[in-house]
Structure 1
């Protein structure tokens, strides 16, 4: 009798152990494939074209023209980024609803056709669809438009999110992650983009016209699954994801908003407190994710040195050149950082104590594709893959920022050696270039003169 009870107890323990392992495995989240969007060559936005667009804005004066041109030339954005099709037509920046729909249709049709073809997954296999476009809402929604285009199943779970800014990509991944916890053996599709066509600001407020210089067309489609049978085919496995939201703070909430200026022109306001808010959001986020990605010894060493430095400054009046920084390279092999702009990249580099080599993928993405909002992270990841830097077992830290104000981060583990040149195929061998200095700096060099003397044709254009 005792032997029977012992066997039952052992079987029960084995069953509980199996359920725990099975539950943990079923919560896995894998990336099977992803595709970034590359618009056609006739939509490239050069500095010369940007200068013509600015001169065509009726509400800009000579001083605003100088401010915008200086921002473009020194932004770190190169000559091969892409704009929406209407910018190159007679309507210019005065977009219509059809321009926004065409922009989105071109994006998702090309990326999804390629993704379904290369992954050999049918649109009818998709169980979860998440689409994020921050500034544009359509009726019916973009998810419905995609479901109709590809004739997806009628029981598909769809999510259409907006207003999340550049951080929306990881928010979409988090939605899929949570859905995977409740549903097994599913395929999920995340589409992330931004509608640039209606987002041009036609006013003259400097805090709002700056966004005209930074944002470019782009997008990405990501195929995910939690099927354990496909884990060997996966590219990445999600290790952890942390979201930080500072919306309860008025300063953080108002530092980046869509609003009207005094003349009624709609645009995006970027406040002077934005860098400070971004630093605070990053600090809060890193404080949460660090224990999940760094060894305990590294954290203990940091706490010890930070306290020694604090006590030394307080009681011994010792001045330290720089504060102690957590060494994230002890737990991270690659840094996939949002290329929101030159200042954003420099700020993250300083905050995390990274090298210029760590920032290369983000700088090259900004230079080649510009800030494509929430999809930018996937262009950065594509650069690492195209350079054949992602090896099996490597850990990639993704960090994105967004209005509200938000900072979201996650870590991916590379499941196999990756070497696809993807969207970088035609140019990756040319990166990094010898210099990131804008080639039109010589032509527009007068903008940095003091006092500045614009050419006569420029003066005539604004008088």
Structure 2
């Protein structure tokens, strides 16, 4: 064979490099962007308002509880950070409390249908245009499913791809976003609707186990509907673009697995127990999540500082120095920390060295709406928008925890002008926030 037809090693390396560059470029061009067009959060009517004083009065009038159980719940509510506006389904106002499937179905329809209608109306999207539907609800899993209920009510297409997620805890909202992301990237030019909520009426605990009584005190009525798209033409009217999503599941560890656990008490009464280790478990899960997310979002300077500190620690140079926490306020302008409770928000605020305003959306959401489970991070994002703080180019970090134990986070970039939405659940009272929430309130 003539020498001029032979390729020397340098030529081979160059050709391989060219092929790699072309392949990477093609993969980049094939990347499907995932947009958040808009979202809606449920605002319960005033008739569902159940102030702490009325909640406790109903406990006293209800013969299901002994004095010790009432005293425990009173102590928890005094430190809950709740205001007088949090709401529960009207069945919680009854004395004695009664569990009925009809109450739960009524709760589901009264939350899910209005938020979907509101979202479709303000985005001018027909229900028949939805390609993917996901409902997440941890404790209530009826037959037909919640997705079937939605398809029936809004007369959606028969070929819609529907998914019903249960038992995923308060982090299920981000799990739904992750599922949508994967589906949209394999189904370009599609629309996806997420409904994120929790039904409480069937899961009222009337026993004596303190760790199970916590659920009665912490959770309140709420829900959110989120519309996402992979259609290129939707970029101009979308609010956010999904940039990163990280999921951590520590179910292989028994302590984490049983930290939030549905079980029977000693009297065979069902309830969800929350262990004393839950803050420690949450901190460990968040640390693993940050280890994955950090390199994706932190500037090089922060990553180098963290690496240098880790090396110094291993060499024994700075063992007395406080653990170095990267400055997450550099990549993020806003934070949505799951409003799981005042202690959870405070712990993350301290561990991430956040400022008072960074945790404000979470604290105010907890005060106004309570812990609405997987939808709480959307009330917080709505708060940021209602205050007029969201600007084009800003990045927001959503952090959610759930049974299993899971820590899931999502990073969104604002790609719109950040105009305030007139249908926000904060619309009538955003002017009074933020307010100072006392560490404890005395309930007589």
TM-score (norm 1): 0.88
Residue of structure 2 equivalent to 1:459? none
Are the structure 2 counterparts of residues 405 and 17 from structure 1 closer, same or farther at C-alpha, using a change threshold of 3 Å? closer
3-state SS in 1 of match to 2:159 = coil
Is the 1:247–1:404 contact (alpha carbons within 8 Å) kept by the matching residues of 2?
yes
User: Which of these residues, 74, 78, 91, is aligned with residue 73 of structure 1?
Assistant: 78
Mapping 1:347-358, distance limit 5 Å: 347-358=347-358
Alignment of 1:420-435 (within 5 A): 420-421=421-422, 422-435=424-437
Tell me, what secondary structure is at the counterpart of 1:423? Answer: coil
Give the direction of change, closer, same or farther, for the CA distance of 1:254–1:15 in structure 2 (3 Å limit): closer
Tell me the CA shift for residue 19 of structure 1. Answer: 4.1
Q: Does residue 1:382 correspond to 2:382, yes or no? A: yes
1:280 matched residue in structure 2: 284
Name the counterpart of 2:210. Answer: 206
Q: Deviations over 1:421-446 (max 9, x none)?
A: 511001111101144466xx3443xx
2:11 maps to none
Q: Deviations over 1:195-224 (max 9, x none)?
A: 011121100111110111110000000000
Aligned to 1:155, what secondary structure does the other structure show? Answer: coil
Equivalent residue number for residue 157 of structure 1: 161
The farther-off stretch of 142-151 and 417-426 is 417-426
Question: CA, structure 1 residues 240+17, in 2 after alignment: closer, same or farther (shift >3 Å)?
Answer: closer
Q: Distance in 1 between matches of 2:216 and 2:130?
A: 36
Contact preservation (8 Å) 1:367, 1:436:
no
What is the CA-CA distance between 1:323 and the residue it aligns to? 1.6
Whole-angstrom CA distance in 1 between matches of 2:151 and 2:285: 36
1:255 maps to 2:259: yes
What is the deviation of 1:182?
Answer: 0.8
Contact 2:386-2:426 at 8 Å conserved across structures? yes
- Which residue number corresponds to residue 416 of structure 2? 416
Could you tell me whether the CA contact under 8 Å between 1:235 and 1:414 is conserved in 2? yes
Distance in 2 (CA, whole Å) between partners of 1:287 and 1:13 is: 29
1:43-89 deviation per Cα after TM superposition (whole angstroms, max 9, x unaligned): 10101111112213434332322221111011101110110121124
Distance, in Å, in 1 between the alignment partners of 2:391 and 2:188 is 28
Supply the distance in 1 between the matched residues of 2:342 and 2:134 (Cα, whole angstroms). Answer: 30
Deviation for aligned residue 1:399: 0.5
Counterpart of 2:238?
A: 234
Equivalent position to 1:22, from 6, 12, 29: 29
Q: Is the 8 A contact 2:53 2:443 kept in 1?
A: no
Rounded Cα–Cα distance in structure 2 between residues aligned with 1:405 and 1:57: 34
Change over 3 Å in CA distance of 1:57–1:121 after alignment to 2? same
| Superposition map of 1:180-191 within 5 A | 180-191=184-195
Displaced runs of 4+ in structure 1, greater than 3 A?
12-22, 309-314, 434-438
Q: Is structure 2 residue 63 aligned with structure 1 residue 58?
A: yes
Q: Measure, in 1, the Cα distance between the counterparts of 2:311 and 2:120.
A: 53
C-alpha distance 108-217 of structure 1, shift in aligned 2 (>3 A): same
Post-superposition offset of 1:307 = 2.9
Aligned to 2:320: 319
Alignment deviations for residues 215-246 of structure 1 (CA, whole Å, 9 cap, x no partner):
00000000000111110110000001000000
SS at match of 1:339: coil
User: Does the CA-based 8 Å contact 1:93-1:197 persist in structure 2?
Assistant: no
**Partner residue in 1 for 2:170:** 166
Structure 1 CA distance, aligned partners of 2:325 and 2:148? 46
Three-state SS of the structure 2 residue aligned to 1:267 is: strand
Distance in 2, Cα, partners of 1:334 & 1:123: 32
**8 Å contact from structure 1 (residues 36, 220) kept in 2:** yes
Could you give the per-residue CA deviations for residues 309-363 of structure 1, whole angstroms, max 9, x where no partner exists? 454467xxx633x221111112111111101001100111122111222110000
Question: Which structure 2 residue ranges, 5 or more long, are not aligned?
Answer: 1-14
What SS is found at the alignment partner of 1:198?
A: helix
Q: Does the 8 A contact of 1:103 with 1:195 survive in 2?
A: yes
2-structure distance, mates of 1:62, 1:34 = 43
SS in 1 for 2:350: helix
Encode CA deviations 1:348-401: one digit per residue, 9 max, x unaligned. 112211122211000000000000000011001000000011100000011100
Cα shift at 1:20: 3.4
Structure 1 residues 159-185: Cα deviation after superposition (integer angstroms, max 9, x where no partner): 001000100000000110000111110
- Map 1:69-148 → 2, pairs under 5 A: 69-89=74-94, 92-148=96-152
Q: How many residues align?
A: 425
Q: d(CA) in 1 for partners of 2:225 and 2:244? A: 21
